[in-house]
């Protein structure tokens, strides 16, 4: 057999072997780097104001994925009011060793959120999801997409069929498109707020602009409060394209725009259309909530309906100004700083 014939015979096989060895070597290098990073990050700050802790670690996914599987995971977050944290029994991050910069995240088992309220008291919410998954996609300009999907939430305070959150950079525009929704939310009595025990649907379609001041936050290199302050200084605006709510006695649709004032409180107006004011009045009476000023949003809405003799539907403006939440010209409550 001539030498040239042997090249054609054995060459393709050799190329396959070389490609396999290269893939194995690249996986080993990538997996080792991820493993070292996690060992270094455990118990330390991974982003401004965010600390990661975990009890156990496994690296899997050979040969084309890197799967970082963690147990006993806790993310601690510094806030203006005090510490907050998210703890999950199991957490996994999946990335490819080739192709675009994207990742899939999964959490399973008991989830626990802890935070400090405006009154300084510590609060805890524990729940178990049937499915909890997120994904991210990054480009040279930073995070481009982020999606979160939680199916089947079970807890004493809140049961939900599904919660979703989606964010993407606006194509050709310095902004972010944000969509959030919830279906089949079943609330405990303490959370009903005069509207009943079941939120059938809740959705928010909004736009945030500009996005450039938020880039350090999206990249995980800046503190969220610093990013929000920079966004506020650049006249940041949250535009509500559509806000829809079907909360038992209350069915509402709204649009508007909000920003942050010098006191870091929400400022702006949401224009809403409400159906079912008679049912809302019945819910208020059942819970013993008094119609009138400074008693909360539900009583203020009912007072506005009574003042305009709106027995079925109500058109109203919910205002956010100088630290006061109002319905029309009537105060409904106090606004707290966001940070």
* pLDDT tens digits along 233-259: 999 999 999 999 998 877 899 999 999
The pLDDT assigned to 148 comes to 98
pTM: 0.85
Determine if residue 50 is left, alpha or beta; phi over 0 gives left, psi from -120 to 50 gives alpha, anything else beta: beta
- pLDDT of 176 reads 97
Are 110 and 165 found together in one domain?
A: no
The residue ranges of the chain whose pLDDT is under 50 are 1, 3
State the pLDDT at residue 5: 55
Q: What percent of the chain has pLDDT over 70?
A: 89
User: CA-to-CA distance for 276 and 294, rounded, in angstroms?
Assistant: 22
Rounded Cα–Cα distance for residues 100 and 82 (Å) = 37
- CA geometry: angle at 113 spanning 223 and 224, to 5°? 10
Domain that holds residue 90: 1-130
SS3 226: helix
The verdict on 175 and 324 lying in the same domain is yes
Which pLDDT score, from 0 to 100, does residue 119 have? 76
pLDDT tens-digit profile of 270-305? Answer: 999 988 777 777 777 776 666 555 567 878 887 887
pLDDT at 292: 55
**Would residue 151 count as lying in a domain?**
no
Is residue 149 assigned to a domain?
no
Same domain, 299 and 181: yes
Residue 150 lies in a domain: no
Give a yes or no: residue 178 inside a domain: yes
């Amino acid at each position: 057999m001539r030498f040239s014939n042997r090249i054609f015979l054995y060459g393709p096989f050799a190329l396959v072997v070389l490609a396999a060895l290269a893939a194995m070597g690249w996986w080993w290098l990538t997996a080792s780097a991820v493993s070292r990073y996690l060992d270094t990050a455990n118990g330390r700050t991974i982003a401004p104001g965010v600390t990661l802790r975990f009890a156990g670690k496994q690296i899997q996914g050979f040969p084309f994925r890197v799967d970082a599987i963690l147990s006993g995971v806790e993310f601690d977050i510094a806030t203006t009011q005090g510490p907050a944290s998210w703890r999950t029994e199991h957490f996994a991050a999946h990335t490819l060793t080739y192709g675009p910069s994207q990742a899939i995240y999964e959490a399973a088992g008991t989830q626990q959120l802890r935070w400090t309220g405006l009154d300084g008291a510590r609060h805890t919410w524990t729940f178990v999801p049937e499915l909890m998954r997120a994904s991210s996609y990054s480009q040279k300009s930073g995070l481009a997409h982020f999606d979160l999907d939680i199916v089947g939430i079970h807890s004493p305070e809140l049961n939900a069929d599904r919660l979703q959150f989606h964010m993407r950079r606006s194509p050709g525009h310095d902004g972010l498109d944000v969509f959030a929704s919830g279906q089949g939310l079943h609330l405990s009595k303490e959370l009903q707020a005069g509207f009943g025990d079941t939120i059938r649907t809740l959705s928010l379609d909004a736009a945030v602009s500009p996005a450039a001041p938020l880039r350090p936050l999206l990249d995980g290199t800046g503190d969220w409060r610093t990013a929000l302050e920079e966004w506020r200084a650049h006249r940041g605006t949250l535009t509500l394209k559509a806000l829809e709510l079907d909360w038992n006695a209350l069915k509402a649709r709204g649009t508007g725009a909000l920003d942050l004032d010098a006191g870091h409180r929400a400022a702006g107006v949401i224009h809403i259309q409400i159906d079912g004011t008679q049912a809302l009045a019945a819910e208020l009476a059942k819970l013993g909530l008094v119609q009138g000023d400074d008693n909360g949003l539900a009583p203020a809405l009912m007072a506005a309906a009574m003042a305009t003799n709106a027995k079925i539907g109500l058109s109203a403006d919910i205002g956010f100004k100088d630290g006061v939440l109002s319905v029309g010209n009537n105060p409904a409550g106090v606004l707290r700083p966001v940070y």
